[in-house]
Amino acid sequence: MADNFQLHVAMFPWLAFGHMIPYLELAKLIAQKGHKISFISTPRNIDRLPKLPPHLSPLINLVKLPLPRIDNLLEGAEVTSDVRYEEVKYLKLAYDGLKEPLTTFLETSHPDWILYDFLPYWLPELASRLGISNGFFSIFIAAMVAYVKPPYLVEYRTTPEDFTVPPKWIPFPTTVAFRLFEALKLFNHSVSAEESHVTDVYRLEKVLKGCDMIAVRGCKEFEPEWLQLLEELHGKPVLPVGFLPTTEYDAGEETETWRSVKEWLDKQEKGKVVYVAFGSEAKPSQDELTEIALGLELSGLPFFWVLKKRRGLVDTEPIELPDGFEERTKGRGIVCTTWAPQLKILGHDAVGGFLTHSGWSSVVEALQNQRALVLLTFLADQGVNARVLEEKKIAYSIPRNDSDGSFTRDSVAESLRMVIVEEEGKLYRDKAREMSSLFGDRDRQDRYVDNLLGYLQSHIKQLTS
pLDDT of residue 1: 42
**CATH code at position 69:** 3.40.50.2000
Identify the active-site residue in 82, 96, 112, 117: 117
Query: Is the domain of 231 the same as that of 288?
Result: no
- Tell me whether residue 19 is one of the annotated catalytic residues: yes
pLDDT of residue 197: 72
pLDDT of residue 249: 60
Overall domain count for the chain? 2
pLDDT of residue 312: 59
Q: 397: which strand partners?
A: 375
pLDDT of residue 13: 97
> Does any domain span residue 324?
yes
| CB of 297 closer than 8 Å to CB of 328 | yes
Query: Is the domain of 451 the same as that of 427?
Result: no
d(CA 1, CA 385): 41
Query: Is the domain of 225 the same as that of 261?
Result: no
pLDDT of residue 8: 97
Query: Is the domain of 305 the same as that of 406?
Result: yes
Vertex 138: Cα angle to 135 and 144 (nearest 5)? 135
Query: Is the domain of 130 the same as that of 72?
Result: yes
Cα 151 from chain centre: 24
pLDDT of residue 87: 84
Cα distances (angstroms) measured from residue 82 to each of 1, 313, 380 = 46, 5, 17
d(CA 266, CA 270): 9
Global pTM exceeds 0.85: yes
> Does any domain span residue 43?
yes
pLDDT of residue 314: 63
Residue-wise DSSP of 237-277: -EEE-B---------STTHHHHHHHHHHHHTSPTT-EEEEE
User: Which of 93, 114, 95 lies closest to 38, judged by CA?
Assistant: 114
- Residues 269-326: pLDDT tens digits? 999 999 999 877 777 888 999 999 999 999 999 999 998 776 656 666 777 888 998 8
Query: Is the domain of 329 the same as that of 200?
Result: no
pLDDT of residue 283: 75
Query: Is the domain of 430 the same as that of 287?
Result: yes
pLDDT of residue 189: 59
pLDDT of residue 310: 65
Instruction: Kindly report the length of the chain.
Output: 465
Q: Residues of the chain whose pLDDT is less than 70? A: 1-3, 188-196, 249-254, 310-316
pLDDT of residue 279: 79
Query: Is the domain of 217 the same as that of 295?
Result: no
- Helix ranges restricted to H, 148-238: 180-186, 200-210, 224-234
- Residues 210-222: pLDDT tens digits? 999 999 999 999 9
| CB of 346 closer than 8 Å to CB of 405 | no
Q: 351: which strand partners?
A: 273
pLDDT of residue 234: 94
Identify the active-site residue in 8, 19, 189, 357: 19
d(CA 6, CA 34): 7
| CB of 114 closer than 8 Å to CB of 10 | yes
Domain that holds residue 370: 255-439
CB neighbours of residue 209 within 10 Å: 15
